[in-house]
Structure 1
Amino acid sequence: MRAIKITSVLILFVLVMTSCSTVKVATDYDREANFAQYQTYAFFKPGIDKAEISDLDKKRILRAIDDEMQRKGFTKSENPDLLVSIFTKTKENVNIYNNPYGYGYGWGWHPWYWGAGHNTINRTSEGTLYIDLVDAEKKELVWQGMGTAALSQKVDKKQQRINKIVEEILEKYPPSLN
């Protein structure tokens, strides 16, 4: 019985740890766009202002996008080729794990009898970040990246988590046109 309980706890731990580190990424783009022409960028303030998150988290996201765009060789400009906008969604996931193996003592029918079982409830917040790249001249969306991941509630881990999410989204830019 103890081995089964330990195994259940280990499986739960692995599931929680892998779910926290995974970022699910999807992208879409305009197949007619010439991505080689884009060299500069600026943030699209009206779009960013609509994102329904705290100003502190907006700053964290914009800082991460800035770093990644510059790492990709883009230059921030007053007269940009691309406008960068963001959109966010969050939801709370509630996972209930039923452990049919209880613990306790005694013989017969008793609340602490072996096999009584218990439930474990785990709550996590999951966020989706959309990064839109808009052709500044045509005012048309040319690329969109979306990343969904578990969010960190610890203030000292938030920037690190946001950096990872943004990095994995922008890893897919520019699209491979093969």
Structure 2
Amino acid sequence: MKTIKILPLLLLFILSSCSSVTVYSDFDKKADFSPYKTYAFHKAGIDKVQISQLDKNRILNAIDAELTKKGMTKSETPDLLINFFTKERERVDVNQYSYGWGYGWGWGWNPYLWGGQPFVSTSTEGTLFIDLIDAKKKELIWQGEGVGYLTQNRSEKEARINEFVAKILMQYPPVKK
């Protein structure tokens, strides 16, 4: 009976791990992050990003929402300038499945050479970088990076961008050890 109750949790964990975004961040260890309360977007940097204007707006809205949750406000005279840029690459996975008797199950050596059909799949892996720049010093003080799979499905795109931005900005402000 206990396994029946645990099974849905295990399934939820497996499904959530498949759609995850891997995040990294780096920061200036000398920077004091407590005085940063206001921000503005660095228009000149964002204009250079080579993605659609719709996706730019989705990213800007997601960043705006996350920073607002952290108690920060937009300002004409900001403490921080926010910039972002993106990269993407096509990932190709080739798997060889074999069938029949032999060493291992599904993988490895097969003395009878039964099956052995290659399976090729492609996916687009995207990286979103978010830069926080000290507006007075014009120096990068924090950078967050999120890596994950992208979707072309328009109904899922906004949710995926929100997930990328939320997980990246979860690491801001950094916790100094």
> Is it true that 1:157 corresponds to 2:156 in the alignment?
yes
- Name the TM-score, length of structure 2 as normaliser: 0.81
1:93-151, Cα deviation, whole Å (9 max, x unpaired):
0111211128xxxxxxxxxx992231221111001110000011111111000111111
Tell me the equivalent position of 1:46.
Answer: 44
Unaligned runs of 5+ in 2: 1-13, 101-111
Shift of the alpha carbon at 1:18?
6.6
Tell me the equivalent position of 1:125.
Answer: 124
> Is it true that 1:92 corresponds to 2:90 in the alignment?
yes
Shift of the alpha carbon at 1:57?
1.0
Corresponding letter in the other structure for 2:118: N
Q: Relative to structure 1, is the Cα distance of residues 175 and 80 closer, same or farther in structure 2, using a 3 angstrom cutoff?
A: same
1:5-31, Cα deviation, whole Å (9 max, x unpaired):
xxxxxxxxxxx9677512111111111
- Name the TM-score, length of structure 1 as normaliser: 0.80
Instruction: Please give the root-mean-square deviation of Cα atoms over the aligned residues, in Å.
Output: 2.0
Tell me the equivalent position of 1:36.
Answer: 34
Shift of the alpha carbon at 1:78?
1.0
Corresponding letter in the other structure for 1:90: E
Count of aligned positions? 153
How far apart, in 2, do the equivalents of 1:85 and 1:47 lie?
6
Choose from 75, 80, 84 the match for 2:78: 80
How far apart, in 2, do the equivalents of 1:158 and 1:85 lie?
20
Q: Relative to structure 1, is the Cα distance of residues 120 and 19 closer, same or farther in structure 2, using a 3 angstrom cutoff?
A: farther
How far apart, in 1, do the equivalents of 2:120 and 2:154 lie?
23
How far apart, in 2, do the equivalents of 1:69 and 1:100 lie?
51
Secondary structure, counterpart of 1:37 in structure 2: coil
How far apart, in 1, do the equivalents of 2:57 and 2:18 lie?
22
Shift of the alpha carbon at 1:84?
0.2
Tell me the equivalent position of 2:65.
Answer: 67
Tell me the equivalent position of 2:172.
Answer: 173
How far apart, in 1, do the equivalents of 2:60 and 2:99 lie?
47
How far apart, in 2, do the equivalents of 1:116 and 1:26 lie?
41
